[in-house]
Chain A
Amino acid sequence: MKKDPRFRIPLRYLVPLTLLLAIILVLLLAPRRSRPREVEIDRTAAVVEQVRRIGELSSAGYYEELVLTDRDDSYLGELKRASGLNRLTGNSDFVIICKGRVRAGFDLAKVQGQDFAVSGDTLRVALPPVEILDVVLNPADYELFAGHRTHEQTTGLLLQAKQRLRADAVRDGVLEQAERSAENQLRKLFTAMGYNEVFITFRKDYLLPRE
């Protein structure tokens, strides 16, 4: 039985066709078979820029988990929302989950000579105004939940998160807690040193509004 010459592939086409098929097959299978190569992070040294002597009494801490959403207000974003297309394609809002910490206390470097008075077994200490010492939101403290933004846009949102953390901490009483805790701790220390009467007061020129 002889084959119809119309269905026979000429030999000159067969070799390139086989090669092309082999390349396509390799390109399709390679990403699945090969282990994905990690991004190489170069080891660089940390350089100390400044060493500063401080005297900070941190007497209260505040931890908060909060979610911030940067809504996509662009024309396309609005269009997707209005048309219901975002149900199929997903919307382009940016959602970030932050776990921040706030430390509150006193800058003891601001204690002046007249703030410290000893008379017999009586000690009087006037502490400087309570303040927020740090608001910490490091790269390990947030999680990108949805969406994409540039580095600068993400930074802008993280700064908003820090402002909110600070405000929430003040509203939830971190400054009052810092005063109470410092008073207890210092009273315990000074009493152990032999002072029977310990008076601890706070300068009331607050650096932050409490409402």
Chain B
Amino acid sequence: MKRSALLLLLLLAACSRGPSLRDQLTERLSSLSSTAELGTVEYTVRKAVRARDEGEWFKIGNRRILFSCTAHIKAGINLDRIPLDKLVVDESARSVSLVLPHAAVQSINLPPEEIRLEYEDVTGFRQRFDDRERQALLKQGERDIVRDLPKLGILAEAETNAEEFFRGMLAQMGFENIQIRFE
């Protein structure tokens, strides 16, 4: 009797989880930083994330899932990287020569509310896609969007818009002869 009581106590002690983990988890980490990015174009991109799981030969049944998601991608130039030493201003001729850095992608936003589970089909003895599997598929979808970015032409569009933006601003400041190039 004594031995079984001791065994039960040991079992409970092994299964119990202390509150320290929860305390650790609720700790919040945050940081604030300065940036200087001029976003000049936003692309809205739609993508279907489609997966099939036919399983191993000993598993009976298949699983299929289809998500649709929307990504908002912003691109532009980093103002911190404008080489101010290469800025040439001639006030008497009302001319200015400005060198801008090449455009870069500034943010990729896949809002959770714009990720929709369109279809899920599970047959036989298979289980539905669980949370982790669904997230892994969406992560892959996100990676695919990032990989396809150069094909979209977003950076060229961002540079064209940045040039027009600075041209307009410099004209408003009174410059007549404006030269802008990217380096």
Report the count of interface residues on B (CB-CB < 8 A).
Answer: 87
Asked if A82 lies at the interface with its beta carbon under 8 angstroms from chain B, I say: no
A14 at interface (Cβ–Cβ under 8 A)?
no
Residues 65-88 of A, flagged 1 when their CB comes within 8 A of B and 0 if not, give: 111000000000000000000011
Whether A126 is near chain B, meaning CB under 8 Å from some CB there, is no
B interface, by DSSP: helix, strand, loop or mixed? mixed
Contact assessment for B38 and A44 in the assembled complex, using a CB-CB cutoff below 8 Å = no
Contact B148 A185 (CB under 8 A): no
Measured between beta carbons, the chain A residues less than 8 angstroms from B26 are: 67
| B113-168, CB < 8 A from A | 113, 115, 117, 130-145, 148, 152, 157, 161, 165
A26, A39, A172, A181: the one contacting B53 at CB < 8 Å is A39
Contact of B161 among A40, A53, A59, A87 (CB under 8 A): A53
How close is A141's CB to chain B, nearest CB, in angstroms? 9
Docked complex Cα distance between A172 and B29 (Å): 12
Contact status A54-B42, CB under 8 Å: yes
Query: Is A97 interfacial (CB 8 A cutoff)?
Result: yes
Total number of A residues with any Cβ neighbor in B under 8 Å: 82
Within 8 A of B (CB), among A114-138: 116, 118, 123, 133-134, 136-138
**Interface of B with A (CB < 8 Å)?**
12, 15-17, 25-58, 63, 70-72, 74, 76, 79-80, 82, 84, 87, 89, 91, 96, 106-113, 115, 117, 130-145, 148, 152, 157, 161, 165, 169, 172-174
Given A42-B52, A48-B152, A174-B32, 7 other A-B contacts at CB below 8 A?
A27-B58, A30-B57, A116-B169, A139-B142, A158-B112, A162-B111, A181-B35
A–B Cβ pairs within 8 angstroms, 11 of them: A51-B157, A54-B76, A58-B35, A58-B38, A65-B28, A133-B39, A134-B107, A138-B142, A155-B115, A180-B34, A192-B84
